[in-house]
Chain A
């Protein structure tokens, strides 16, 4: 966190002096509506368009995906070798070296697309309806499981699946959200308090997950004397997910979103807390499959025979309940000078069936032209370490356009993740 603050301070100083919270009445902060002050987010934010003070609609699409090991150049190399039919399994062993010891392979992704329609009712209330499609996914291949192939069993002979798991969910949803603005308190330039809440009905479309059934992922022991493996994997998935005859799931659930924001309009200072995706979704007619590897042998060939017959066998169909990726987002926003706005955003996951990481975003928004914000930033945390963000917006009375992207874990082709978001709005 200290590093984050230092970088933010340096960026502001380079822009021409640090005078947060001392912006005059005719500052840009006062001219930019609160609806456009919030920087874009690549993760779920049901209130993002609700702040816009005009009736209209916004189309948006975006997503983010990252992992801690493989960058775009690596993916390109794999695709190239595969296309040339020269992809060898030693290349796979080489690639396993990209998974750093102790970390395992971690990956996550979110994507969304939809339409928002809404606007103000009076001076204090804003309401909006949205129809969205969303997907969430995460995978963790425990380092203990990777180590067997990556490092071999020369120095250790026992391995497990550990906490390895994976899950993915695609949903369709419809929601209604509202904001209520209180204030100013004290003086005409006093603080405003904005409270928001909303509810979304989420219907599952596709679902899949897999994890170990045994404690600690079971045990695989490989020595010069013998091989023993006791591993059991259980998966839940939409019927026909992997054989092309998909039968969409039924079920559904209500989730809630909550927001509280305090603003000092003329100074541009704002603090916000948002909790989103609070709820669970029931998913009906999910296939439950299991695969069991239970072998004790001194013969490597026997292991191969067992693996050849290993498959996820259908056990039954059942109904399950999935807790959506809940996040708590805490943010602070301030103006450093007439053209520069700084935002610090922490996104913390809690209580989810998906292993999504915590991140800290630092945004700098430069308004050399008030309606054309240029954005640059850094993102810390996640699975990938440091990332770089950028964006461009056009924010007029009747037209809203925003595009933003992130390169995670490195720049461009060295990135181990990427994010993109596009908003296109029309207001009346």
Chain B
């Protein structure tokens, strides 16, 4: 007998036997397969094990680390090139001091040049305590230049990017002025043919600039002062310039409001892709699903995390208000220990557990679901709710899911 005939014989035999043993209904068939006895199968799966660094929320091109290891955001820098060749006629007379008053834009920040990444909502809600203005000055002439009563202020530019006339510094009536002078004087001397650089503390000014820009206004840092010299022997060429380069760094050192600082991030993830017709049966078998999370918080703030999930890809829509959303849990991470300057002394670890029952797990079984995490940062009382974020600061989250299914026997 050939091989094929033999195979056909066996298939016929198997077919006949199995046909004779077919159940009469789906329920009967399911009960038949469950005859192995009721059991609980518990599956433990990793859900998240990741470290979310604050840097990762920002565009890496704007992230800077200050010399004291704090994390900062660099605003677009600009160079002001101020020609001093017009001093030449005065010098040639050799008997009078040239004096020129100026009000020039040294930093022009349009909203599309300010990138706070995912932290934009956060920045809107806080006041920046610490910002650095890094001034680099260069004098190409053979004459020592003097900047008298030189200060930096904020002003709103008009639609064409020009200073308004009359010029009004922000905020009107009580403008913020950052003086730039040598200690104990009102002047800053720029030696002949020299470069110099120094850093100013400008938290209030940068905070103002940032909020103006986030409010849709075109803001500028304006240099206001008098340029002069007391060197009547030197030579000034027509091409000589004084260059002022300004770099603004907003340090992530801020004070959160009493109500905390709330922001929300959405992520869309693949679900288990269970066929829709299988979902009810699976949910019926789901005895319990627990998610156990451990959070290690090295932010200089306390943290409350609320997690909600909803079926489908919702983009940046508000998941918490979605009709099919399930709010899974609120995880409260105790306030970190910080010093009076808001810098972290000791990270806090928290363990949280929450459960899903039956329909709450429905979203996870579909093709895609959107998970939304609402984060509320709470300030520490020891620093008067001030926190300064060090480079490398992160929230480490490890979550595992324990899924218990009732299997076997008649369900």
Contact = CB atoms under 8 A, between A and B. Distances in A.
Interface string B12-49: 01000111111100101110111111010111111111
A61 B408 contact: no
Contact of A224 (B46, B269, B278, B405): B46
Interface stretch (A42-50, A120-128, A297-305, A345-353): A297-305
Contacts of B47: 300
Interface stretch (A148-156, A192-200, A317-325): A148-156
A152 B41 contact: yes
Contacts of B285: 90
A95 B46 CA distance: 26
Contacts of A61: 1, 6, 9
B212 to A, nearest CB: 42
A91 B33 contact: yes
Contact of B18 (A76, A100, A157): A76
Contacts of A205: 3
Nearest to A95: B33
Contacts of B278: 88-90
B10 interface: yes
B160 interface: no
B6 A135 contact: yes
Given A90-B282, A133-B1, A225 B32 contact: no
User: Interface centre among B26, B33, B39, B404, by most A CB within 10 Å?
Assistant: B33
Nearest to A99: B36
Interface string A63-78: 1000000001111111
A187 interface: no
Given A90-B281, A154-B42, A223-B44, A76 B23 contact: yes
A81 B33 CA distance: 10
A94 B1 contact: no
Contacts of B401: 224
A170 B47 CA distance: 47
A99 B39 CA distance: 13
A75 B15 CA distance: 10
B402 interface: yes
B89 to A, nearest CB: 72
A63 B10 CA distance: 8
B5 interface: yes
A298 B50 CA distance: 8
Contacts of B282: 88, 90
A133 B8 CA distance: 14
Contacts of B118: none
Interface in B41-94: 41-50
Interface string B232-246: 000000000000000
A91 B400 CA distance: 26
B30 A81 contact: yes
A74 B34 CA distance: 9
B42 A225 contact: no
A223 B46 contact: yes
Interface residues of B, number: 52
Given A61-B9, A413-B21, A86 B26 contact: yes
Contacts of A99: 36
B34 A94 contact: yes
Interface string B278-297: 10011001000000100000
A114 B49 contact: no
Contacts of B49: 225-226, 298
A386 interface: no
Contacts of A113: 1, 5-6, 9
Nearest to A413: B21
A420 B13 contact: yes
B interface: dominant SS = mixed
A310 interface: no
B270 interface: yes
User: Chain A CB within 10 Å — which of B26, B28, B285 has the most?
Assistant: B26
B398 interface: yes
B10 A77 contact: no
A404 to B, nearest CB: 14
Nearest to A172: B3
Contact of B21 (A72, A88, A89): A72
Interface string A227-241: 100000000000000
A381 to B, nearest CB: 22
Nearest to B37: A97
B407 interface: yes
Contact of A133 (B2, B34, B37): B2
A144 to B, nearest CB: 16
Nearest to A93: B407
A408 to B, nearest CB: 12
Given A154-B42, A154-B44, A225 B30 contact: no
A158 to B, nearest CB: 12
Nearest to A248: B3
Given A76-B21, A151-B41, A226-B46, A301 B30 contact: no
A139 to B, nearest CB: 16
B405 A93 contact: yes
A59 B5 CA distance: 14
A368 interface: no
A100 B22 CA distance: 23
B34 A157 contact: no
B11 to A, nearest CB: 11
B23 A84 contact: no
Interface in A388-428: 413, 418, 420
B22 A77 contact: yes
Given A91-B30, A224-B292, A98 B35 contact: yes
A213 to B, nearest CB: 27
A153 B21 contact: no
Nearest to A422: B9
A222 interface: yes
Contact of A90 (B26, B270, B407): B407
Nearest to A98: B36
Nearest to B38: A97
A81 B30 CA distance: 8
Contacts of A89: 274, 278
A74 B26 contact: no
7 contacts: A72-B21, A77-B23, A113-B6, A133-B2, A224-B45, A300-B46, A418-B17
Given A80-B26, A96-B36, 6 more contacts: A80-B29, A97-B36, A222-B44, A223-B46, A226-B46, A298-B49
Interface of B: 1-3, 5-6, 9-10, 13, 17-23, 26, 28-30, 32-37, 39, 41-50, 269-270, 274, 278, 281-282, 285, 292, 398, 400-402, 404-405, 407-408
